[in-house]
Structure 1
Amino acid sequence: MMASTPRHGLARVLSKQGVCSRSEAARWIQSGRVEVDGRVIRDPEFPIVQGRHRVVVDGSELGEARRIHLMLNKPRGLVTTTQDERGRDTVYRCFDGAGLPWLAPVGRLDKASEGLLLFSNDPAWAAHITDPDTGPDKTYHVQIDTLPDEALLAALVAGVDEEGERLRASRVSLLRSGERNAWLEIVLEEGRNRQIRRLLAAFGIDVLRLVRVGIGSLALGDLGKGQWRELGEAEVAALASAPCSSDR
């Protein structure tokens, strides 16, 4: 017996085609903006077979959006979200006037952090990048309020248990030091919420600056703060390839 063709909820299909987020798709559907085979559908979970049904949004037939993958040098002070309930500036301020389609952040950087942040309307690619088992390493330059010794660097790699999570760095090295503070290069295999700040805090160390400078083979380079650019095909493919860490 032949297997039946899988059906997916209408909101999920819209988001997978890269035209909007799943939550936004649900709002479109509930407000009566979406038709399937000539009938208005108001149930975001209405099952359809992608490619078999004619889906129309605001009178225009839905097609696959051009897949876009871009990098932003996130400035400090912006939150990584499409809308902030507290009215704070978001990373989307950097795209004002660019005429870009809907894009979602691929991973996050907290408000006080800066540097390399990816965006895309390609959900499968984004899921691969953010998956701890398949995604590339992330590299950070971190200014701390102390002068580290070799024992501290080793302890950061060994890691600590905090609130049921194991926090550790894959690699740590000293970049440079001054009289009272130093810069470390810290490489993570996976990005837990505020992982570097929490890891360092466990050793009584405060973070003065935190800049993500690389994701896999993709480097922030000389991209200006608040500036963005689209990734080339080779860069997109490289990020979607096997993990970069040699010890995974």
Structure 2
Amino acid sequence: MLSKLGVCSRSQAEQAVREGRVTVDGRCIRDPERPTDAERERLALDGRPVAAAERVYIALNKPRGVVVSAADERGRDTVYGLLEAAGLPWLGPVGRLDRASEGLLLLSNDTGWAAGLTEPRHHVDKTYHVQVDCRPDEALLAKLRAGVVDAGERLAAVVVSVLREGEKNAWLEVVLDEGRNRHIRRLLAAHDIGVLRLIRVAIGPLALGELPKGQWRHLTADEVQALRRG
């Protein structure tokens, strides 16, 4: 329930319950699976009453080399370092970008909204611009669209097209309707294609636009609703 109220992540909520820091109607609970009705029961964390947090939705232009994690055991910079001075409530990433990737990342404390964007059955398109170390011909593009099976997972792209070409490399536009771990990198590696840069430029109808690298902004109410419908 703590995560549904936007107070913390699901894993943080489970840990708090197991540590005996959560009470319901004044009684300590230690079972994270215990059903709780926030409208009828008094929920408290560390002795302080818990109410639903204001819903916050932000778009961040993630730089390359930054980890999408609240903390990193190796001491690397995380996206939360870009938000520290903003006075924001707890926010969770809506999906992931690996450390070497960059571009549009959504964060929110609305876990239901986030699940609607990340659950595979909803098929929300995500658009990437990818610089590769070759100039793929149409036959190779067709193979990328057809997909491969890697480690028991089928990896394919809805759209793969050439944006522009250099002498030895090219920029591709790749659209996925689901996102497996390192999906694009694994798909390209299966065809011996190296990735030089990978930038997510859109999630559903929301485009990265001119948001500067390392900066963030609040989503408008219309954008939140458009993503909910998307």
- TM-score bracket, normalised by the shorter chain, equals over 0.9
Q: Output the CA distance in 2 between the equivalents of 1:238 and 1:135.
A: 14
Using the size of structure 2 for normalisation, the TM-score is 0.95
Query: For 1:240, what is the secondary structure of its paired residue?
Result: helix
Residue 39 of structure 1 and its aligned partner are, at CA, apart by 2.5
Alignment partner of 2:70 out of 65, 68, 82: 82
Q: Identify unmatched segments of 5+ residues in structure 2.
A: none
Query: For 2:85, what is the secondary structure of its paired residue?
Result: coil
Residues 1:226 and 2:217 are matched in the alignment? no
Deviations 1:127-175 (A, max 9, x none): 1100122142000000000011111111111111222111111001111
Residues 1:216 and 2:204 are matched in the alignment? yes
Matches within 5 A, 1:85-164: 85-164=73-152
Residues 1:205 and 2:169 are matched in the alignment? no
Change over 3 Å in CA distance of 1:221–1:61 after alignment to 2: same
Deviations 1:71-117 (A, max 9, x none): 10000001111122222211111101111101100000000000000
Matches within 5 A, 1:48-59: 48-59=36-47
Contact 1:69–1:119 (8 Å) recurs in 2:
yes
Percent identical: 63
Q: Output the CA distance in 2 between the equivalents of 1:107 and 1:48.
A: 27
Q: Output the CA distance in 1 between the equivalents of 2:42 and 2:169.
A: 61
Residues 1:63 and 2:51 are matched in the alignment? yes
Deviations 1:187-238 (A, max 9, x none): 0110111111111111111000000000111000010111001111111111
Residue 21 of structure 1 and its aligned partner are, at CA, apart by 1.1
Deviations 1:11-66 (A, max 9, x none): xx111111011222233334443222123334434443332111122333211111
Q: Identify unmatched segments of 5+ residues in structure 1.
A: 1-12, 243-248
Query: For 1:176, what is the secondary structure of its paired residue?
Result: strand
Shifted more, 60-69 versus 32-41: the winner is 32-41
Query: For 2:131, what is the secondary structure of its paired residue?
Result: strand
Using the size of structure 1 for normalisation, the TM-score is 0.88
Contact 1:135–1:240 (8 Å) recurs in 2:
no
Residue 121 of structure 1 and its aligned partner are, at CA, apart by 0.7
How large is the Cα RMSD of the aligned pairs?
1.4
Residues 1:26 and 2:48 are matched in the alignment? no
Q: Output the CA distance in 2 between the equivalents of 1:167 and 1:106.
A: 21
Could you say which residue in structure 1 is the equivalent of 2:161?
A: 173
Q: Output the CA distance in 2 between the equivalents of 1:69 and 1:81.
A: 17
Q: Output the CA distance in 1 between the equivalents of 2:34 and 2:189.
A: 47
Q: Output the CA distance in 2 between the equivalents of 1:36 and 1:164.
A: 43
Task: Say how many residue pairs are matched.
Answer: 230
Q: Output the CA distance in 1 between the equivalents of 2:153 and 2:146.
A: 13
Higher alpha-carbon Rg: 1
